[in-house]
Amino acid sequence: MQAFLKLKSGEAPSKPTSSTTILQNAKPWVEKYRPRTVTDVVEQNDVVSILEQCITGADFPNLLFYGPPGTGKTSTILAAARQLFGDIYKERILELNASDERGIQVIRDKVKNFAQLTASGVRPDGKRCPPFKIIILDEADSMTSVAQAALRRTMEKETKSTRFCLICNYVSRIIEPLTSRCTKFRFRPLKNSMIHERLALICKEENVNYDESALKTLVEKSDGDMRRAITCLQSCAKLASKGTPIDITTVSEVTGVVPDTWLEQFLTLCKNFVHYKDLQEFIRKLMLEAYASSQLLEQLNDKLVASKDLNDSQKSFIGEKIGVISFRLQEGGSEYLQLLELGLSLVKAFSLS
Amino acid sequence: MKRKDKSLKTMLWTDKYRPKELSALDYHKDQAANLKNLTKDGDFPHLLVYGPLGAGKKTRIMCLLRELYGPGVERLKMENMNFTTPSNKKLEIMTVSSNYHIEVNPGDVGIYDRVVVMDIIKNVAQSQQLNVNAQREFKVVVLTGVDNLTKDAQHALRRTMEKYISNCRLILCANSLCRVLPAIKSRCLCIRVPAPTETEIVHILQNVCKKEDLSIPVEFASKIAKKSNRNLRRALLMCEACKVEQYPFTENQNIPDPDWQIFIKKTAARILQNQNIETLSKVRENLYELITNGIPSDIIFQTLLDELVANCDMEIRLAVMEQAAMYEHRMTQGNKQIFHLEAFVAKFMCMYQNMMQEMVGEF
């Protein structure tokens, strides 16, 4: 007992230091390397130039950002707010996302109340700042249309003291009256070279060894999604034991890429189709390996479009099938059944020529 | 799904011989080493563990937690938590928790899963650990069945995951990735757990039998492995069931099929034999019986289809498959499964009959 207590008390002083270092480490790189200023945002030139003008004093419109995930929508508006308001930016923005309750009641109470407060044009430290607040509605495409409708008049009435920034992936899910009240900006998927540059920079900062080819695959697999690329990089760095460089196998495991051999085997099976049993057995085996079928479809599509053995009508037949199947998979259809159908369609397509 | 009744003196083999440490895992050893690396500096990103049934996802998660927090994670307590939806509906959900983690299956409350996800994470994340020295400064929330979460709940996870990362980590557990939103995938480290191979299962069966002081012939073990469809849990359960039935094991001992499988086979045979209204109404009775006995409808559909398609000509296979894929998709969308199962059976009968008539016509 005595020994136990001694050990405990002896250990205690050393622990806090280690926990604070962990706390710093705990910050995921995605957060750590978020752009701090608007100019840091890459690729999105229109938005950046307009926001820069706003920061230097021009009028600030209501904004609507849309584009695929990981292109910097949230980062841009947060960086802009930080530049506009400095230290007090936390008081000047109201950030609501899909995880917060956003029914019509919340729009009526919370948003309206926040919008009605007037903001002064001077910061506590005496510097000037724009006399308005920003309400950020993140993931606005998951708001109900009733809630969106409730925003309409609020947006116009409170222009004096409040600006809105809506962020979404699909602009088609935002009701027309709202889009017409905002300046729309499309965020493009990032170029591979941009992501590569950023990843290399992070690797240097974090002292991570890497294989040039591994980094290249990582960039290719990220599809212009910076967040995915950085998360994958961090995961790879964590999985690899200290000192050893990141190699291609780790990268493909983390990104969940289906190995090419499976695809090849699938295609040859369908091309030289003999027994239904073989196909069934193959798909069952594939399922047990737990590769994501959505990923499989994507890779298959890339492969087939580039393929030289198929003519255009065959390709269009398969393309249509892949579209339908991918939709059904996302809606929750059974993977086994859908892939079997795909297999049989491929057999048919190959026999069409 | 898993029985956690520890008051029973004799535990099921699946629980009794569940590995408790990452180093004790029987297969995917490289992955285990990687996971160990992951926890080495006492911190890890959000995880998304996915793989087929009985591949050992849960075992790996528990091992990982043990690696992080020590044996304290095994002191589990069950608790009922209460939630109120915005429309003032009261919900109750069972959670399993230790001092360090909390595990919940949000799918239990159906379409209200979003409230559960939001409340639990916010609760856990906002209560900071009192004694930072004794433990990690974050708690872990384990969510199972993530692929069955509604889209709404998944959207709710997105920003929450980022916001509370300093004192809360999520481990998500799913059967397949395709129903998980890309936005969530990009925030997690995805860990694939493939099913064990048949030789690996044979090996494990032999080990377990040795520990139980039983002897198992290799042929019999591989027979079980084959029958289990590479599902380790099922293999162990089968082995235990066989032991109760007849011990010592003989090489060609009969391994009983599950009752429902035989039942579906019979139903399929009936459909292939006769295609008329009477059979259809008989089939309906059979299907109802399966559903009321708690067999998941997607498994019924899959088994039935496998039986039916195996007996078709190549020409109509694609057509049948197309229809099957469509009806199955609709079944998951709707909430009255019997309609879709029956509609498929009727459609199949019609197609099958046409095929038969054409064949007769050719002669």
Does position B296 have pLDDT exceeding 60, yes or no? yes
Residues 6+ away with beta carbon under 8 Å from B173: B49, B50, B57, B58, B61, B142, B143, B144, B145, B146
Q: Determine which of A48-62, B130-144, B273-287 has the lowest per-residue pLDDT on average.
A: B130-144
Q: Do A294 and B159 lie within an 8 Å CB cutoff?
A: no
Give the C-alpha separation, B205 to B210, whole Å: 9
Q: Do B51 and A290 lie within an 8 Å CB cutoff?
A: yes
Average per-residue pLDDT for chain B: 83
The reply to whether omega before B248 is within 30° of 0 (cis) is: yes
Task: Work out the number of other CB atoms within 10 angstroms of the CB of residue A143.
Answer: 26
- Pairs of CB atoms within 8 A across A/B: 171
What's the distance, Cα to Cα, between the start and end of chain B in Å? 53
- pLDDT of amino acid B219: 85
Sign of the CA dihedral A304, A309, A314, A316?
A: positive
Does position A23 have pLDDT exceeding 60, yes or no? no
Give the C-alpha separation, A271 to A264, whole Å: 10
| Confidence bin at B346 (pLDDT 50/70/90) | very high
Chain B contacts of A277, Cβ < 8 Å? 310
To test the contact with chain A by mutation, choose from B64, B133, B170 the residue with the greatest count of A C-beta atoms within 10 A, namely: B133
Give the C-alpha separation, B230 to B52, whole Å: 9
Q: Determine which of A170-179, A226-235, B161-170, B303-312 has the lowest per-residue pLDDT on average.
A: B161-170
What is the arithmetic mean of pLDDT over A148-161?
Answer: 82
Q: Do B194 and A234 lie within an 8 Å CB cutoff?
A: no
Q: Do B160 and A99 lie within an 8 Å CB cutoff?
A: yes
- pLDDT of amino acid B213: 84
| Confidence bin at B2 (pLDDT 50/70/90) | very low
Q: Indicate the DSSP class of residue B141.
A: E
Using an 8 Å Cβ cutoff, are A51 and A187 in contact? no
Q: Helices (DSSP H) in chain A: which residue ranges?
A: 2-11, 14-26, 29-32, 45-55, 73-85, 89-92, 104-106, 112-116, 145-157, 176-179, 192-206, 212-221, 226-239, 248-255, 260-271, 276-288, 293-306, 312-331, 335-352
3-state secondary structure B212-273: CCCCCCHHHHHHHHHHCCCCHHHHHHHHHHHHHHCCCCCCCCCCCCCHHHHHHHHHHHHHHH
Q: Determine which of A335-349, B174-188, B316-330 has the lowest per-residue pLDDT on average.
A: B174-188
Percent of chain B with pLDDT over 90: 6
Q: Do A337 and B192 lie within an 8 Å CB cutoff?
A: no
What is the arithmetic mean of pLDDT over A200-213?
Answer: 84
- pLDDT of amino acid A99: 63
What is the arithmetic mean of pLDDT over B339-353?
Answer: 91
CA distances B35 to A240, A329, B146, B160, Å, are 10, 30, 21, 24
Sign of the CA dihedral B273, B279, B280, B284?
A: negative
- pLDDT of amino acid B129: 61
Percent of chain A with pLDDT over 70: 90
Chain A contacts of B200, Cβ < 8 Å? none
CA distance B97 to chain A (A): 23
Which residue, chain included where needed, has tokens 């080819």? A213
| Confidence bin at A21 (pLDDT 50/70/90) | very low
CA distances B104 to A176, B5, B80, B143, Å, are 39, 18, 10, 5
- pLDDT of amino acid B9: 52
What is the arithmetic mean of pLDDT over A122-151?
Answer: 81
- pLDDT of amino acid A322: 92
Does position A14 have pLDDT exceeding 70, yes or no? no
Residue A110, token pair as written in the block: 């919370």
Give the predicted TM-score (pTM) of the model: 0.78
Q: Indicate the DSSP class of residue A2.
A: H
Does position B316 have pLDDT exceeding 70, yes or no? yes
CA distance B213 to chain A (A): 31
Residue A145, token pair as written in the block: 């249309």
Does position B254 have pLDDT exceeding 80, yes or no? no
Residues 6+ away with beta carbon under 8 Å from A264: none
Does position A325 have pLDDT exceeding 80, yes or no? yes
What is the arithmetic mean of pLDDT over B118-145?
Answer: 76
> E-strand spans in chain B?
47-50, 77-84, 90-97, 101-104, 139-144, 168-174, 189-192
- pLDDT of amino acid A13: 38
Chain A contacts of B37, Cβ < 8 Å? 238-241
Does position A218 have pLDDT exceeding 60, yes or no? yes
Q: Do A25 and B306 lie within an 8 Å CB cutoff?
A: no
- Closest-CA residue of B relative to A17 is B133
pLDDT in tens, B82-118: 888 878 888 888 888 888 888 988 888 878 888 888 8
Average per-residue pLDDT for chain A: 81
Give the C-alpha separation, A231 to A235, whole Å: 6
Residue A107 one-letter amino acid? I
SS3 content of chain B, % helix, strand, coil (to 5): 55, 10, 30
Nearest beta carbon to residue A69 from set B179, B182, B322: B182
- pLDDT of amino acid B345: 92
Containing H/E element for A137? Answer: strand A133-137
CA distances A329 to A87, A293, A332, B329, Å, are 46, 8, 5, 8
Burial B249-285 (b: 16+ CB within 10 A, else e): beeebebeeeebeebbeebbeebbeebeeebbeebee
- Closest-CA residue of B relative to A101 is B86
Does position B204 have pLDDT exceeding 60, yes or no? yes
Q: Which among A5-19, A37-51, B29-43, B190-204 has the top mean pLDDT? A: B190-204
Residues 6+ away with beta carbon under 8 Å from A259: A252
Chain A contacts of B179, Cβ < 8 Å? 329-330, 332
pLDDT in tens, B154-203: 888 887 787 787 778 889 999 888 888 877 887 888 888 888 888 888 98
Q: Determine which of A90-94, B163-167, B190-194, B280-284 has the lowest per-residue pLDDT on average.
A: B163-167
